[in-house]
């Protein structure tokens, strides 16, 4: 079971790689303004698993120290809409350690999360299961 914490951009790059091609639904993205946190429930493709057979696992991503959340080209009125996560990146603000986490999804949508600092946790929360579909990338 994978458990990762990110407190800087290098740590975040590892989480981004682990989450490449994870899928989630709009309804599985939650912002708690009072708790200043954003959480996502995802089905993560296990790139680190050995062998040719693909595996997915249920995972949770939590972002702490959240100041604001903005979305672009995400159908907020469609909680069942499926999103494929491509990357998670950090754009520093003029005043460190704050900035913006940018979650980029296939199809051109993204979620911008303004944060006080990088405070991100990723944890697998289920046993893996086999999947016949291995994500492919043109290129």
Task: Give the model confidence (pLDDT) of 69-120 as tens digits.
Answer: 999 999 888 999 999 999 999 999 998 999 999 999 999 999 999 999 999 9
Kindly report, residue by residue over 26-72, the tens digit of the pLDDT: 999 999 999 999 999 999 999 998 776 799 999 999 999 999 999 99
Radius of gyration of the chain (CA): 15
Residue 58 C-alpha from the chain's centroid:
12
Mean pLDDT of 119-127: 98
- Give residue limits of the domains in the chain: 3-130
Beta bridge partners of 130: 55
Instruction: Please give the Cα distance from 100 to 103 (Å, whole number).
Output: 10
**What's the average model confidence in pLDDT over 13-36?**
97
The pLDDT value recorded for residue 33 is 97
């Amino acid at each position: 079971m994978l458990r990762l914490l990110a407190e800087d951009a290098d740590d975040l790059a590892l989480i981004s790689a682990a989450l490449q091609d994870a899928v989630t639904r709009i309804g599985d993205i939650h912002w708690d303004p009072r708790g200043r946190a954003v959480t996502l429930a995802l089905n993560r493709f296990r790139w680190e698993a050995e062998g040719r057979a693909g595996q997915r696992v249920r995972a949770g991503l939590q972002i702490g120290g959240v100041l604001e959340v903005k979305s672009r080209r995400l159908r907020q009125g469609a909680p069942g809409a499926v999103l494929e996560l491509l990357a998670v990146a950090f754009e520093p603000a003029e005043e460190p350690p704050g900035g913006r986490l940018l979650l980029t999804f296939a199809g051109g949508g993204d979620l911008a999360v303004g944060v006080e600092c990088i405070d991100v946790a990723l944890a697998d929360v289920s046993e893996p299961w086999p999947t016949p579909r291995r994500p492919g990338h043109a290129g």
